[in-house]
Each structure stands twice: as C-alpha cells, then as structure tokens.
Amino acid sequence: MPGGTRKWYYITGMVAGVIVMGVLAFKLRYLFDSGLSWAAWGVPAGAAAGALGALLYDRRRPALVLGGHGIRMAANGGQGKAEWQHERPSIGGVGVDDHDDSVEALLVWSPTGQVIRKESLNVPDPEELRLACERTGLPWGRPDLGAWGPPPEL
C-alpha cells in the first residue's frame, strides 16, 4: 500500500481519537468538577488512542505477497492465511489498471490474456508492484499473445 495512504490512516485515526476523547471529556467534565482541564488530557489521550488503533489496523490489513511461488493476498500484513493465491504457471501478467470505471484495480491475467483476479480494495502502488514483479520474475503487465517466449523458470 502506498505510504501516503498509510499516513492518512494514522492522521485520520488520531483526529477521530481526539474528537471522541474531547467530546467524552467535555461531557464528563462536570463529573470530575475540573472545568476545562479536560483538554489537557483529552487531546493527547485521544491522539495516542487513535494512533494505536491505526497501528493495529495497519498490522492486520491484508497484504500482497509476490515470490517465486506466484502471487497471493494474505492477512496480517502478508504473514497470515491467504485470502487468494495464484501459482506461477497460471500467471500471464500482473498489473494495475484504471480503465474500468476509472477505479484503480490490481489485475492478474492468465497466460491466455483472461483476467483471473481483479482486486480493487487493496491496490498497491504501480511502480512498487512493477519493481517487485521484476525482482521476483513475475511478468508485469497484460500478456502479449502474439509474442513467443521460453517457459518460465521454476
């Protein structure tokens, strides 16, 4: 997932935490008879709680794992159970496309050019995905059906 998107998770979590803690502290200020001292502990506590919530969410979200075996989407940041996976021989290409409804989607093509996986919720940065595909030897982009090439190395 792009770093900018992850940054917004943390910022949104912190802002939401500050708002919730601020409202709770404001509502409960008469219970503690502390006037406006709620802001002294409510804002930092809310920011810390929001950042912790964003960190826990970030660690548990699914991640794309590329390797010599193929490609898979796994829970817990790529360390958990696979939600879906495609073995290397069944992959003709991997890429990010946005021509359909102008929404970016991760696409996995078969060697015949058919889309075998379309994932629009967990779309990685296209440049990072291209570099990862080159590193692992997975084909990048839509397969060229007219070109001949040797079989992939296993």
Q: What is the DSSP letter of 78?
A: G
Retrieve residue 65's tokens: 């794992």
Q: What is the DSSP letter of 30?
A: H
Residue among 43, 12, 47, 6 nearest 25 (CA): 43
Instruction: Give the C-alpha separation, 71 to 12, whole Å.
Output: 31
Q: What does each of the 154 residues of the chain score in pLDDT, given as a tens digit?
A: 556 667 887 888 889 888 888 788 777 777 766 666 766 777 888 888 888 888 888 777 788 888 888 888 887 767 777 888 899 888 888 988 876 667 788 889 988 888 888 888 777 888 888 998 899 989 888 887 665 555 555 4
Q: What is the pTM of this model?
A: 0.62
